[in-house]
């Protein structure tokens, strides 16, 4: 008898399961502070939850300006006026929302602490 295999990102169907975005509440809180984020964050959320990303290269096929900054994946939102800072666990198909910042707030770097 063989031991059961553990699930990896390669085992997951690319579009069947999609990514689990944790937590949408942070996106809604950002929209409550800055109403101009509603449409772009909703668009990002709809795309991300259906994605089957296995690595940053896959992310960049969808969002070409996405960058890795340490353990974070940073997305430009609304023409680079805002930055969406996430932590992506490709193996488990999860995207953790950490911060939604203006470009100026992002540049101050306090979020890295």
Closest C-alpha to 107, from 65, 76, 66: 76
> CA end-to-end span of the chain, whole Å?
48
pTM exceeds 0.85, yes or no: no
Measured distance CA(6)–CA(23) in Å, rounded: 25
Residue 72 counted as domain residue: yes
Instruction: Give me the number of domains the chain comprises.
Output: 1
CB 29 within 8 A of CB 97: no
User: What range defines the domain where residue 37 resides?
Assistant: 20-112
Residue 90 counted as domain residue: yes
Mean pLDDT by 10 residues, the chain (113 residues): 44 61 93 96 95 95 95 94 96 95 88 73
Measured distance CA(108)–CA(40) in Å, rounded: 23
Q: What pLDDT was estimated at residue 10?
A: 47
Q: What pLDDT was estimated at residue 9?
A: 43
């Amino acid at each position: 008898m063989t031991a059961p295999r553990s699930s990896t990102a390669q085992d997951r169907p690319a579009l069947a399961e999609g990514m689990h975005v944790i937590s949408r509440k942070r996106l809604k809180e950002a929209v409550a502070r800055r109403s101009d984020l509603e449409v772009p964050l909703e668009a990002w959320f709809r795309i991300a939850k259906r994605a089957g990303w296995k690595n940053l290269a896959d992310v960049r096929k969808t969002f070409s300006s996405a960058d890795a900054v340490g353990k974070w994946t940073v997305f430009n939102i609304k023409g680079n006026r805002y930055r969406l800072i996430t932590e992506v666990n490709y193996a488990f198909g999860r995207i953790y929302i950490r911060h939604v910042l203006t470009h100026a707030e992002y540049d101050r770097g306090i979020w890295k602490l």
